[in-house]
Each structure stands twice: as structure tokens, then as C-alpha cells.
Amino acid sequence: LRNTWYSAVAKRKREVADEDGKHAATLSAEAGQDWAMEMDALRNALDKLPPEHREAIVMVGAAGLSYEEAAEIAGCALGTIKSRVNRARNRLAELMDMPRGDPEA
């Protein structure tokens, strides 16, 4: 989740400003449409995760809590929260057809 956000921020930095709206007039879809579709896909994928995995990935990935903080809130061991986050990330990548593993691939 965090990497997706960072990728979106980096992409916005590379985009050219269209101050007079000349290029925007040629768009056939609203600018936020792709983002909304990606968010819907993410919500659907999160709904398919087991509750424990969803809780772990939201606390660590979205809320930015440390593994230690998330483990304390969930009432489980540190290793348990780490494995839940890892399994949730792998399952989300699978559900959203995103490659996992080598970041340069």
C-alpha cells in the first residue's frame, strides 16, 4: 500500500502541468477515474482477506504503525503480526495481479 502511494507521488512529479487546459480538453475520461477504480479493486481485495490478515495489513501498511505497536493492539506475538502482514501482502498482490519478488522486474 505504501509503495503504491509512493509510486503515485513519483508519477505526479513527472507529469507536466496543463495550465491553459489545452491538453485536458482532449481527455476522454475524468482524471480521477483510474484512481477510483484502483481503490475499488483494493477494497475488494482487502475484503477477501481473512480478518486477522486484513487487520494486520491495515495497521502496518495503511496506518503506519510499527510491527510492535500492531502486535500489541492485536494482542499477538511480534512474529505473528509479521507473518500476517507478509501473507496479506502476498495475497493482495495475487488478487490484484501485481508481481511480487524482484522489485526491478
Cell 510499527 identifies what position? Answer: 66
Confirm whether 64 is domain-assigned. yes
Confirm whether 55 is domain-assigned. yes
Per-residue pLDDT of the chain (105 residues; tens, 9 = 90+): 677 777 777 776 666 666 666 666 666 655 556 677 788 888 999 999 999 999 999 999 989 999 999 999 999 999 999 999 999 999 999 998 887 664 544
Confirm whether 9 is domain-assigned. no
DSSP state letter for 105:
-
Confirm whether 19 is domain-assigned. no
Stated length of the chain: 105
Closest CA to 81 of 43, 98, 89: 89
Q: What is the CATH number of the domain that holds 69?
A: 1.10.10.10
Q: How many domains are there within the chain? A: 1
Confirm whether 39 is domain-assigned. yes
Give the pTM: 0.61
DSSP codes joined into one string, 16-61 = PP-TTSTTGGG-SS-TTHHHHHHHHHHHHHHHTS-HHHHHHHIIII
Gyration radius of the chain's alpha carbons:
17
Confirm whether 41 is domain-assigned. yes
**Residue 10 has which C-alpha cell?**
513519483
Domain range enclosing 78: 32-105
Confirm whether 43 is domain-assigned. yes
Confirm whether 24 is domain-assigned. no
How many Å apart are CA 105 and CA 102, to the nearest integer? 5
